[in-house]
Amino acid sequence: MKTNWSYISHLILVFVFGLLACEAAPAKPPFLGVFGNKAEGFSTKTIMLMDDGKGMVCGGGGCGPVVWKLGVTNGDIILNGPEDDAKNIIVHYDSDKKTITFLNEELSEGGGPLLFITNEVPNAKELQKKLRYFDGSQESLEPKGAVFAYGVTNHLDDLTKLQKIVHDQDVPCMVTGDPKFLLVYLRDFDQVKKIATEEIAHDHLSLRIRNNKDTRDFEVWENGEKIRVEPDNGKGVVNTVIPVQLE
């Protein structure tokens, strides 16, 4: 039987590149997951760390968000939360015992190391979404929102269509107000503007969208074509602190 060397060479290349891809994939830190002292009441201490650099620290009085980064010493992890007493908290992960210990004296009182419970942080995807802008500061927990678009007469459904388009790109937004408008996070404004400009033209939508995030000027689009820009009239709030989480 004739050997198909070309086919065999192809399989070898696929195998080699597969090995290289596996080697190139960075290993996840071993301390991701949930650690706790399994106590009850006000003695409870729990740390939850996720792969996006965010997490939660919980005690008897409730939970608070943190961002984490590796410390200088092997095994040390530095946590930062929005409160003054949650800055530069250092914990140590013992890979042999699979435990986490608070190195800050005031936090280590009243209990020993936190024991490994599970690799799975409860509701991790939902928590990551809520903390997507969190950088350790209080301000990042109260992101500003931007009025992005209004519907136009006889084409009010186009606002809902735009909301779905933006949402399908995994960008939080909501239709609210009277008259109805599309609200997005201010930090997402430029991304939403790019999405909207492309899709409004493609789907022949009719809408009024913000010209940019620094003014109240609105572009008027009719059936997928931009026909004019309405200048800033100085009325109404277009950027504001959002009291609710956008979905």
Are 166 and 192 in contact by the 8 Å Cβ rule? The answer is yes
User: Has residue 28 been placed in a domain?
Assistant: no
User: Has residue 42 been placed in a domain?
Assistant: yes
- Any idea what the CATH number is for the domain that residue 171 is in? 3.30.70
Q: Would you state the pLDDT for residue 77?
A: 96
* Statement to judge: residues 81 and 166 lie in one domain: no
User: Has residue 59 been placed in a domain?
Assistant: yes
Residues 6+ apart with CB under 8 A from 149: 159, 162, 181, 182, 196, 207, 208, 209, 210
pLDDT in tens for each of the 247 residues of the chain?
445 545 445 445 445 545 544 455 567 899 999 999 877 777 789 999 999 999 999 987 789 999 999 999 999 999 999 988 889 999 999 999 999 999 987 666 656 899 999 999 999 998 998 898 899 988 888 778 888 999 988 999 999 999 999 999 989 899 988 888 999 988 899 999 999 999 999 999 999 999 988 888 899 999 999 999 988 766 555 666 565 566 6
As beta bridge partners, residue 239 has 146
Q: What is the three-class DSSP state of 206? A: coil
Q: Which residue range(s) make up the domain with 97?
A: 33-139
Instruction: Name the pTM for this structure.
Output: 0.64
Alpha helical stretches, state H, the chain: 5-24, 105-108, 124-130, 157-168, 189-203
Domain count, the chain: 2
